[in-house]
Homo-oligomer: A and B are copies of this chain.
Amino acid sequence: MYRAPIKDIAHSLKVAGLAEALEEKRFGDLSADLVDAILDEAAKFAGERIAPLAESGDKHGATLENGNVTTAPGWTGLYRDWAAGGWNALTGDEAYGGQGLPTMLSVAVSEMWNGGSLAFALAPMLTMGAVEALEKHASDELKKLYLPKLISGEWTGTMNLTEPQAGSDLGALKARATRNGDGTYSLFGQKIFITYGEHDMTDNIVHLVLARLPDAPAGTKGISLFLVPKFLVNADGSPGKRNDVFCAGIEHKLGIHASPTCTMIYGDGTSGEGARGWLVGEENRGLACMFTMMNNARLLVGMQGVAVAEAAYQKALAFARERRQGRAPGSKPGDAMSPIIEHPDIQRTLLTMKGLTQGARAIAYACAHALDMARVSENDEARHWTDRASLLTPVAKAFATDIGVDVASLGIQVHGGMGFIEETGAARLLRDARIAPIYEGTNGIQAIDLVQRKLPLGNGEPVKTYIAELRAIVEETAASNRAGLGDTATCLAFAIADLEEATLYLQEALADGRQAEALCGATPYLRLFGLAAGGAYLAKGALTEEDAGRDALCRFYAENLLRETNALKHRVIGGADSLLAAGAALRDS
């Protein structure tokens, strides 16, 4: 059973800069003690309340009848207790009942909820996105009416972007909105893949919906964002009349079964009046508002990758300590069978799982730190941290969710035949993990975002500064001369050099207008970035807190996992020609 890895999380927060920020009072009077207390309590809730329901939630899933979705047994009580514990309000605006705590903390507890169950943690994740979009873009009236309930978790929020013909390409969406003349709008259309679009955990659900006004320009510049509640809200904040938005179907998915993935129909009721909605932000500027939600959501989806990897690692480790098969090297004749953790091949698997998990966690927390610092800084400093967060967000999302799948799959392998049996639970983790590289922008889209938008950011300075910081870690590592770190400094230096070379190549290709060539390298580049940054953070972590286990893991990561960066660099800088030639042949075949 999953137990939140408080020690590793606290360590990663420290390495990312939380301790320093607290000492400098960047987050007001938030103390290290309070942080520890929050982490402890969250760990308890995740381990004792969420994790025990993960399997049954998966087995039962959510069911739809007459437009009503019933969640898995125990799910509503779990959610209500969780919200009653104040967990939803952690980051929200204090003016509306939130605690205004740093993103680092919300990301850390989000890791725990997801470690307990991805399917559960999705509901608050979407609510958090809605809260953030409303805080930044909604009118005071809307804020007053909706934020208190959303921040407390009394209601949940959803994001309605995708339509059958509009997935990665939001410009293609067709849902439409008409003006009612009284400041409200009427919405019509179908949205798919709406997470927790309908459920029985709360009295109301607040949908944020992208749609086009009749006179909107084509493409992404003609999209507006609307708030559409399931129940219209009376002036006193109580839910009123049922709105014309209904769940028409829920998906039969590979994983995250307990999370209803809904097809939502807006304005298909008999009235013909459409679903009543309110504009968020300006007309035709909806995409910018939605990106507010998505950027945060991307980091949180990255945390799903970290969390599911952690859960898979814990499960595999426990199994490897228990299960005895064969005799490990060094066994004497007549010895009993060895716990499989004694076999080098199993050790390689477990260490790979743990190394990738820790590396991805460090990147995600560094991204959260940048978001926090941007919020509490001004001018150049704010710009620096905003750029840092922009740079790291696609890496945090894609690298962490890719390794989430890899690690969950390795976790099955450690279990041997038992891994394939659903009751073991390892298979569920792979099934759950598999969605994360897809939603909130596929990892291919993240890689393109990294290369096409983030590398050219600020004339390429932010990435240059970042790589210089990684290089400084290499130097500190080399200077430490710590025996337990073996060849870490050397291996890491090569990896950072690979990252730099690939970065310069891509920046040049983009500057020269060789767009296709740059795009060819996007996915290997993102992985190279993630591997190298993860390795640097592991080294920084080893230098931050002396611990033989951390040294050993860091060294394994450097001397084994980082070897991949060279291949990735070659794919970036030497892989495009053959890709484009073979791609054209494939397309035309």
A residues in contact (CB < 8 Å) with B = 162, 165, 167-169, 172, 192-193, 251-255, 317, 324-326, 329-330, 337, 341-351, 354, 405, 409, 412-413, 416-417, 419-423, 427, 430-431, 434-435, 437-439, 442-444, 447-448, 484, 486-487, 515-516, 519-520, 522-523, 548-549, 552-553, 555-556, 558-560, 563-564, 566-568, 570-571, 574-587, 589
Contact = CB atoms under 8 A, between A and B. Distances in A.
Contacts of A582: 347, 351, 552-553, 555-556
8 nearest A-B pairs in the assembled complex, by CB-CB distance:
A347-B583, A563-B567, A552-B582, A329-B516, A254-B427, A556-B582, A559-B578, A169-B325
A571 B565 CA distance: 13
B574 A559 contact: yes
A333 to B, nearest CB: 10
A25 to B, nearest CB: 36
A585 B548 contact: yes
A186 B358 CA distance: 54
Given A167-B325, A430-B434, A560 B585 contact: no
A560 B552 contact: no
A434 B568 CA distance: 26
Contacts of A419: 438
**Identical copies in the complex:** 2
A48 to B, nearest CB: 23
Interface of A is mostly: helix
A519 B559 CA distance: 16
B578 A253 contact: no
Given A578-B555, A583-B347, A444 B254 contact: no
Interface centre among A255, A435, A548, A559 (most CB of B within 10 A): A559
A316 B582 CA distance: 16
Given A169-B337, A253-B420, A431-B431, 19 more contacts: A165-B324, A167-B417, A168-B326, A193-B417, A252-B423, A330-B516, A344-B579, A345-B448, A345-B522, A350-B583, A416-B438, A417-B438, A486-B577, A552-B584, A556-B582, A560-B579, A563-B570, A563-B575, A566-B567
Given A417-B439, A444-B413, A578 B486 contact: yes
A351 B579 contact: yes
Contacts of A583: 344, 347-348, 350-351
B417 A434 contact: no
Given A329-B519, A549-B586, A556-B579, A409 B434 contact: yes
A575 B549 contact: no
A109 to B, nearest CB: 25
Contacts of A577: 486, 559
Nearest to A515: B329
Contacts of A348: 520, 523, 575, 579, 583
A401 to B, nearest CB: 11
B405 A519 contact: no
B587 A341 contact: yes
Given A251-B421, A520-B348, A585-B549, A325 B168 contact: yes
Given A172-B337, A325-B169, A516-B330, A563 B571 contact: yes
A556 to B, nearest CB: 4
B423 A438 contact: no
B405 A420 contact: no
A560 B578 contact: yes
A559 B405 CA distance: 26
B586 A347 contact: yes
Contacts of A575: 348, 559-560, 563
Contacts of A516: 329-330, 344
A345 B589 CA distance: 18
Contact of A434 (B420, B439, B448): B420
Contacts of A324: 165
A166 to B, nearest CB: 8
Contacts of A578: 486-487, 552, 555-556, 558-560
17 contacts: A329-B516, A341-B586, A344-B516, A344-B583, A345-B448, A345-B523, A349-B523, A405-B409, A412-B434, A413-B442, A427-B434, A552-B581, A553-B585, A555-B578, A556-B578, A559-B578, A560-B571
Nearest to A548: B585
A421 B252 contact: yes
A157 to B, nearest CB: 20
A553 to B, nearest CB: 6
A138 B523 CA distance: 54
Nearest to A547: B585
Nearest to A338: B169
Contacts of A434: 409, 412, 420, 427, 430
A351 B586 contact: yes
Contacts of A555: 578, 581-582
Contacts of A409: 405, 409, 434
A559 B279 CA distance: 51
Given A409-B434, A427-B254, A559-B575, A549 B589 contact: yes
A587 B577 CA distance: 46
Contact of A435 (B405, B420, B448): B420
B486 A552 contact: no
Contacts of A576: 344
A428 to B, nearest CB: 9
Q: Among the interface residues A326, A345, A516, A520, which one has the most CB atoms of the partner chain B within 10 A?
A: A345
B416 A168 contact: yes
